[in-house]
């Protein structure tokens, strides 16, 4: 690989960043396609307080093509782009941006398609399943809409802030009237798939996003956290005899989609 003045820059915008797997995965994919050097993805550590100024600056970088957007910026950056795809507008969040020649920024949301695609690649289906989702942020919202879109029978959304869970449930139900959407866990409930859509698990001292009682009534426990790959939730779930699904397949399933959106032919 040779970086030259003609290299087009791609980015990963996140905070924290040290645990990120996207730079290694994307650059390896570019290398396999013979495009590393023509393009390169670099990590961009941007805090919440600097996101607006940083995004404005990206409009001026003429060899910047686009970026993956990760926690905690997926919702905030939706207000900073010029245009969003219908998927991103529905979710209210963005996880990939693209810059055009005029400096306009376009956003889309691929986390939901990536999550369902990762499940499918691992041999799991969403259609007809009873699903539990913890979280109501950007990634969780994308997963919620995707689970409903791809035919889950029911979706229960729980979140630390009940109001956010209720708002997300209302939006998902309106877009998918055939899916039973709730924010209350019935004491007799059983779930085929339970998903952690929060950032809990990125740090070793994080609390469990699901209680052990919810883990015990879930056939498959799945993560959206990518690093570490084996979160405390997955470790506990496996110890309690549950099938587990890491967050990495969600990312790998959408890498090609991300590159395509950023204009990597």
In the structure encoding, which two tokens stand for residue 184, read together? 């209350």
Q: Which of the following is catalytic: 38, 74, 149, 164?
A: 74
Using alpha carbons only, how large is the chain's radius of gyration in Å? 18
Known catalytic residue: 74? yes
> 158 is written with which tokens?
């729980």
Contact 187, 214 (CB under 8 A): no
Give the chain's count of helices (H) and strands (E).
10, 12
Please give the Cα distance from 169 to 150 (Å, whole number).
16
By the 10 Å C-beta count (0-12 exposed, 13-18 middle, 19+ buried), 17 is classed as middle
Q: Nearest to residue 156, comparing CAs of 171, 141, 134, 177?
A: 134
The catalytic residue positions are 74
């Amino acid at each position: 690989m040779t970086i030259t003045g003609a290299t087009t820059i791609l980015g990963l915008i996140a905070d924290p960043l040290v645990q990120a797997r996207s730079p290694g995965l994307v650059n390896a994919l570019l290398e396999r396609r013979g495009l590393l050097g023509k393009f390169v993805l670099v990590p961009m550590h941007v805090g919440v307080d600097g996101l607006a100024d940083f995004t404005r600056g990206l409009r001026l970088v003429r060899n910047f093509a686009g970026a993956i957007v990760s926690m905690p910026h997926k919702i905030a950056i939706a207000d900073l782009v010029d245009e969003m795809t219908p998927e991103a507008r529905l979710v209210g969040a963005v996880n990939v941006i693209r810059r055009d020649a005029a400096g306009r920024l376009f956003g889309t949301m691929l986390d939901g398609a990536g999550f369902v695609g990762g499940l499918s690649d691992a041999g799991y289906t969403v259609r007809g399943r009873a699903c539990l989702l913890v979280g109501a942020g950007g990634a969780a919202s994308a997963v919620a809409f995707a689970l409903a879109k791809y035919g889950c029978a029911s979706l229960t959304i729980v979140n630390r802030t009940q109001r956010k869970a209720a708002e997300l449930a209302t939006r998902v139900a309106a877009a998918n009237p055939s899916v039973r959407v709730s924010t209350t866990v019935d004491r007799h409930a059983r779930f085929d798939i339970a998903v952690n859509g929060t950032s809990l698990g990125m740090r070793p001292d994080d609390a469990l996003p699901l209680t052990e009682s919810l883990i015990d009534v879930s056939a498959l426990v799945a993560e959206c956290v990518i690093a570490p790959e084996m979160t405390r939730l997955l470790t506990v779930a496996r110890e309690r005899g549950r099938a587990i699904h890491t967050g990495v397949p969600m990312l790998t399933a959408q890498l090609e989609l991300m590159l395509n959106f950023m204009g990597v032919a």
